Amino acid sequence: MSRVRFGQRAGFMILSGGLVAVGAVLHAACENVTAKSQAATNQKSEELGQVLAKVDDDVVITVGDFQNQINQQSPYVRARYTSLEKKKEFLDNRIRFEVLAKEAKARGLDKDEEVVRTMKQVMIQKLMKEQFDSAVKLEDVTDAECKAYFDSHQDEFNKPEEVRVADILVKDEKTAKKVLGDARIKGIDNAGFRSLVAEYSQDTATKDRGGDLRYFDAGTKELPADIVKASFALQNVGDVSPPVRSTGGLHILKLTGRRKALVRTFDEVKPQIRNRLYRDKRQQAMEDFVKKLREKAKIEVHEERLAKVVVDSAGSSAPPLPPPLPGAFHPGAPGAPQATPIQPGTPAGTQRILLPSPVAAPAAPAAPSAPAPAGH
């Protein structure tokens, strides 16, 4: 296939994939309107069923469909379409979308492998939403479960005091006195101390990073006990220790940072823990669900034939495959779906073509965040 033909096909795939994706959003927008929004308008069902526009004989847009689609937008977007002129603009975009979709289908792009894959992704997104939005809820995580997690993960929420020092290792007392007498060793500015490290330190492991030993607590086993003790004896950033002897020589330590002990109560971190457990439960429910489906399915795998798959590792001028839809089973590599849905959003690929601009995916609930790292 020539590069031109490949580019054309890729363009059609992007076009049709975008149409399928946005079509799913349009369909969802029309389906998900509540009775409350309809009742608030005091409109009769006959009025809502009136035909507003048709595209050929197979696409009919009713007053109700169109109204529902607008009302699915955010309040900010809806406010833009209160005038008759703006309603016409919205309708024109909808018609434009349908015309493009029909042309893509007429060219057989609804059977294109990339379009089919995109449709499957949209279906999977909808399946997982229906399956788990009500099956696993944040409020289902009990206080007892949160407390049990807190008690068994104290190191995530409570940290001892830590210090950070820079070290100059020298071989003898004469050199140590020379370093301590150098004016560059003083002050909180470490530029001078780093130059002393480069000039005098015998510790090749820390010399390239200015002698930095990074943060550590009083219980660390990674450093000699005498160095740890001397480091914690330093009170203020910029303070320098007298020489500390070790098997390697004499260490001159400079305090470059201090972190206070962090102690958090259960009530302070309970929301974080609840979100973590909710996420874990939801993920486990998804994995169990997929596992059952795999057990029911008739799956046949010939792993020995994987060796026959030739992967071209050389550079290629071919355009990359369209990215997976947000909310779909996102592949670890293009075309290799995994059972880990990601958050829904605007379908990928639709930004490259002019589609009905007023259409936007319904806002999804924010995903629960994991507990913040137990750093300081």
Domain boundaries, the chain: 3-140+323-352, 160-259
Tens digit of each residue's pLDDT (9 = 90 or more) over 139-152: 889 999 999 999 99
Alpha carbons 237 and 258: distance in angstroms, whole number = 8
CA distances from 19 to 110, 192, 262 (A): 10, 62, 52
Give the chain's radius of gyration (CA, Å): 32
Alpha carbons 113 and 172: distance in angstroms, whole number = 73
Q: What local confidence, expressed as pLDDT, does residue 291 receive?
A: 94
Locate 344 and state its tokens. Answer: 């829904």
**CB 162 within 8 Å of CB 222:** no
Grade residue 77 by pLDDT with cuts at 50, 70 and 90.
Answer: confident
Q: Is 262 helix (H, G, I), strand (E, B) or coil?
A: strand
Tens digit of each residue's pLDDT (9 = 90 or more) over 302-355: 999 989 989 887 765 555 555 544 433 333 333 333 333 333 333 333 333 333
Q: What local confidence, expressed as pLDDT, does residue 44 receive?
A: 82
Q: What local confidence, expressed as pLDDT, does residue 42 receive?
A: 67
pTM score, whole prediction: 0.50
Alpha carbons 3 and 20: distance in angstroms, whole number = 25
- The DSSP bridge partners found for residue 257 are 164
Alpha carbons 340 and 342: distance in angstroms, whole number = 6
Taking the mean position of all CA atoms in its chain, how far away is CA 118? 21
CATH number assigned to the domain covering 160-259: 3.10.50.40
Higher pLDDT, 216 or 187: 216
Residue type, 30: C
Q: What local confidence, expressed as pLDDT, does residue 233 receive?
A: 96
Higher pLDDT, 33 or 92: 92
Tens digit of each residue's pLDDT (9 = 90 or more) over 56-75: 888 899 998 889 888 988 89
Locate 285 and state its tokens. Answer: 């429910």
Least confident of 127-136, 257-266, 366-375: 366-375
Q: DSSP string covering 13-45, please?
A: HHHHHHHHHHHHHHHHHHH---HHHHHTTT--H
Q: Provide the mean pLDDT of the chain.
A: 78
Grade residue 99 by pLDDT with cuts at 50, 70 and 90.
Answer: very high
Q: What local confidence, expressed as pLDDT, does residue 133 receive?
A: 85
Higher pLDDT, 317 or 2: 317
Average pLDDT over residues 15-42: 47
Residue 25 has pLDDT above 90, yes or no: no
Q: What local confidence, expressed as pLDDT, does residue 228 receive?
A: 96
**CB 196 within 8 Å of CB 184:** yes
Grade residue 243 by pLDDT with cuts at 50, 70 and 90.
Answer: very high
Q: Is 255 helix (H, G, I), strand (E, B) or coil?
A: strand
Helices (H), 133-265: 143-152, 154-157, 173-180, 191-200, 204-207, 225-233
Alpha carbons 179 and 211: distance in angstroms, whole number = 14
**CB 269 within 8 Å of CB 371:** yes
Tens digit of each residue's pLDDT (9 = 90 or more) over 255-279: 999 999 988 999 999 999 999 999 9
